[in-house]
A and B are shown apart, each in its own frame.
Chain A
Amino acid sequence: MLSCKKISKSYDNLVLSNFDLEVGGDEIVALLGASGSGKSTLLRIICGLEKSDSGKILFNGVDLEGLPPEKRGIGMVFQNLALFPHLNVFDNIKFGLPTNNSIGEISEMLELVGLKNFDSRKIQTLSGGESQRVALARSLIAKPKMILLDEPLSSLDSSVKESLSLEVRKLIKSLSIPAIYVTHDPRIAELMADRIVYIDENNSSN
């Protein structure tokens, strides 16, 4: 269970102000809000890529303060997917594979995300949907205790977006881990999430 308590963050202007959020054991929460409302900043603070000015983040009762991103066990799929352009599909996913795990897991994961036989494909040759699946597979193979998704479907057209949302939801649910899905599209939020949290300029949520 994730618990964010009174998180504040400002750059030149205030982005988050005393923001509270709780996510249950295998719950998928959609964070819905306009551009600049602090959604992505909150995700970056949760996974440790940025520090909050104040507030506390507890994950399964452990305070994450001071813990570097690589030690938090939280996965993230970026908006631009951040697939390594110099590695092929197989090696991108292998990057997320824990050291002691079997290489065979990569093929299983590729099958799970519907990309069987894509192993040697270069990243540049993938379509938007395929890239999105690879990014998700890479994050999931690391066996994260929680996954954060920062508008990973935003570049896709609406029909692909909807079908893929359902697939992603199914996949995350099968792993029984909590997830936060950031979007500004209410339709996708409804399809994906168990619960929707609205975030606006004043960071009020409900």
Chain B
Amino acid sequence: MKVRNLVVISWIILVILPLILAWNQLNVVAERNIFEIILDFNNKFQTKNSIFFTFIVAFFSMILTLIIGLPLAWNLGRYKWRYHNFLRSIFTVPFVMPSILVAMGFLALLDFLDILINHNHSDETRFYTLLFAHAWFNVALVIRFCEPLLSTIDRSYEEACRLLPSGKTKISRLRYFWLPLMWPNIAASSALVFVFSFTSFALVKFITPAERNLEVVMANQSEWAGLPVPSLSRVPSEIVLASSTIQLITILLALSIASWLQSQSSGFHLLSLKDGRIRVPFKSLRGVYLLLMVMFIVSPMISLISSSFMIRENGSMIFSLQGWESAFSGSHSPTNAYESLKSSVEYAVLTVLFSLPLGFLLAESIFNLEKTNPKFATFLDVFVMLPLALSAVMVGLGVLLGLMRTEPDLARSWWIPLYGHLMLTTPFVVRVLLPAMRNLNPHLDEAAALLGANYLKRLISIRLCLLKPSIIVACSLVFAISLGEFGASWVVLRFTEYTTLPVMIGDLLSRPGYDPILRPAANAAGTILLLITLVLFISVERFRPLGSGGEF
């Protein structure tokens, strides 16, 4: 059997097995059938209104993200100015930011708002903050889906449009030319924004602590769900079973729509290889707008960093290094920042080492199948994305419960989070490498074969060399996602000694009672994570292949 086939089968087992085992475990403990549980879902005090809240947040976050993201994508795609690439990096950096940092950044902003205008955090303010935090996090998705198309459309099409009766005004061109052209990309990015907002965990948990979406509901019940103690775990198991079922069906539906819409866009052939952007001066109204958007993007990050040097005393904020001292001494958390960072980096490095070859071989299998068996290639492509359709908490729970079913002693092993990280990051490797493989000139590999090079030599000397920029991008993406991964790690790690930096931050933010050091300590640990992610993103962005977009 070929290595590639083995990899595909291993991936299927890796993804399916824990989920089936977890499902089975929950079913055994729950004692009722899934339909009864779902019908009864809204009557439990632990889950009341959570479905409504989840849908409302996902829907309005999607709308707000489009309102903010589309004009940005338009400006980045249609115009070019002096600081274009630098600004583009700033606008796309939020997507690689660990979600727990986004939550902390917006909480720090709320604190400043509190000081500046003496405004208390009402539930309403927190709800709107959550929507803006989701928009901040997902705006890069809209840019990545729409900007490459806008920047490579041959200018002559719009010029022809202007000379025709239906394209005389900006509105009519928008209506008859741009929207019909762009809608598959807009709709596909909307579907993904909806999915990411639907499965948001850290943002909902910390920004709106009084509310629960399905993801938070599942994480809250994760302590008891699936345990073989029916009196304690029957209700949690029912809740997790119903939440995960509702979530999975909704997400699969949204992703199917996104996939179908993306396939619709392949019918357009208006792209040119030339850069279609128009050079404009930065000192203009457009420049002011872009600077405002830069402020929107950087303000949560600056708030987070500055808050780590502040401490609240007698209702006002004063400068203090106590937060940093606490973070590094571990006086308010089970571990200190050194240990947590070491643990995070170890998990991230191991995740890269396993995820990259696995993702590469999966991408190569799909790429080869596209030529010989396109239907199976499409199936495998969708299947590889399955962990993205599941949320991080679901993956963490699946791994944990699946293991509990088979080998309870293993459930607290150090490598368990690695399993979850591997499931969550490998699809990103495939999404980055597969388009790059499709763009390679197939004759290069054939020419090397005719010159006598065997598979290994062709792989090392030709394919890997040519794919190097995409491999670097994939590595950094995997490293950043693993480093900042919170949902699965929170479920799996929070009661073990292998605490990562995000889990340490989550622990500091979740402590009951008021202690003025907790938030600055969490912000200090968050600042370390933020700076590492920023340096990684900025240093790697220059390797991104030209015209790349739409696939993270």
A residues adjacent to B (C-beta < 8 A): 47, 49, 68-70, 74-76, 78, 80, 82, 84-86, 95-96, 98, 138-139, 142
| Between-chain CB contacts (< 8 Å), 6 pairs | A70-B451, A76-B447, A78-B447, A86-B466, A95-B461, A138-B451
Residues in chain B near residue A80, CB distance under 8 A: 441, 443
Residues in chain B near residue A74, CB distance under 8 A: 450
B43 within 8 A of A: no
Residues in chain B near residue A68, CB distance under 8 A: 449
Contact of B444 among A47, A76, A84 (CB under 8 A): A84
Bound Cα distance A85, B466 (Å): 8
Inter-subunit contact B453/A70 (CB<8 Å) = yes
B68 within 8 A of A: no
Contact of A139 among B441, B451, B466 (CB under 8 A): B451
Residues in chain A near residue B462, CB distance under 8 A: 84
Kindly report which residue of chain B lies nearest to residue A135, judged by CB atoms: B447
Interface residues of B in 217-242 (CB under 8 A from A): none
Bound Cα distance A70, B446 (Å): 9
With a 10 A CB-CB cut-off, give which of B449, B454, B468 has the most chain A CB atoms: B449
Contact of A95 among B443, B446, B448, B468 (CB under 8 A): B448
- Binary CB contact string for chain B from 266 to 293 against chain A (1 if under 8 A, 0 otherwise): 0000000000000000000000000000
With a 10 A CB-CB cut-off, give which of B444, B465, B466 has the most chain A CB atoms: B444
B residues adjacent to A (C-beta < 8 A): 441, 443-444, 446-454, 461-462, 465-466, 468
Contact of A82 among B443, B452, B468 (CB under 8 A): B443
Inter-subunit contact A82/B449 (CB<8 Å) = no
Bound Cα distance A138, B451 (Å): 8
Bound Cα distance A172, B312 (Å): 84
Residues in chain B near residue A95, CB distance under 8 A: 448, 451, 453, 461
The verdict on A75 contacting B450 (CB below 8 Å), with A80-B441, A84-B462 known, is yes
With a 10 A CB-CB cut-off, give which of B446, B462, B468 has the most chain A CB atoms: B446
Inter-subunit contact A70/B449 (CB<8 Å) = yes
Residues in chain B near residue A84, CB distance under 8 A: 444, 447-448, 462, 465-466
Bound Cα distance A78, B451 (Å): 12
Bound Cα distance A67, B540 (Å): 42
Inter-subunit contact B446/A82 (CB<8 Å) = yes
The verdict on A142 contacting B452 (CB below 8 Å), with A80-B441, A82-B441, A86-B465 known, is yes
Minimum Cβ distance to chain A for residue B2 (Å): 14
Residues in chain B near residue A142, CB distance under 8 A: 450-452
Bound Cα distance A69, B447 (Å): 10
Residues in chain B near residue A47, CB distance under 8 A: 450
Inter-subunit contact A69/B450 (CB<8 Å) = yes
Inter-subunit contact A70/B452 (CB<8 Å) = yes
Inter-subunit contact B449/A69 (CB<8 Å) = yes
Residues in chain A near residue B454, CB distance under 8 A: 70
Kindly report which residue of chain A lies nearest to residue B445, judged by CB atoms: A82
Residues in chain A near residue B449, CB distance under 8 A: 49, 68-70
Residues in chain A near residue B441, CB distance under 8 A: 80, 82
Bound Cα distance A86, B468 (Å): 10
Residues in chain B near residue A85, CB distance under 8 A: 466
Bound Cα distance A191, B516 (Å): 88
Residues in chain A near residue B447, CB distance under 8 A: 76, 78, 82, 84, 138
Bound Cα distance A47, B447 (Å): 11
Residues in chain B near residue A138, CB distance under 8 A: 447, 451
Residues in chain B near residue A96, CB distance under 8 A: 451-452
Bound Cα distance A74, B451 (Å): 8
Residues in chain A near residue B446, CB distance under 8 A: 49, 69, 76, 78, 82
Inter-subunit contact B450/A98 (CB<8 Å) = no
Residues in chain B near residue A86, CB distance under 8 A: 465-466, 468
Minimum Cβ distance to chain A for residue B452 (Å): 5
Residues in chain B near residue A70, CB distance under 8 A: 449-454
Minimum Cβ distance to chain A for residue B449 (Å): 5
Minimum Cβ distance to chain B for residue A77 (Å): 9
Inter-subunit contact B450/A76 (CB<8 Å) = yes
Bound Cα distance A85, B468 (Å): 13
Minimum Cβ distance to chain A for residue B458 (Å): 9
Kindly report which residue of chain A lies nearest to residue B448, judged by CB atoms: A95
Minimum Cβ distance to chain B for residue A53 (Å): 15
Residues in chain B near residue A49, CB distance under 8 A: 446, 449-450
Bound Cα distance A82, B444 (Å): 5
Minimum Cβ distance to chain B for residue A58 (Å): 19
Residues in chain A near residue B453, CB distance under 8 A: 70, 95
Minimum Cβ distance to chain A for residue B24 (Å): 46
Residues in chain A near residue B448, CB distance under 8 A: 84, 95
Minimum Cβ distance to chain A for residue B368 (Å): 14
Residues in chain A near residue B451, CB distance under 8 A: 70, 75, 95-96, 138-139, 142
Residues in chain B near residue A76, CB distance under 8 A: 446-447, 450
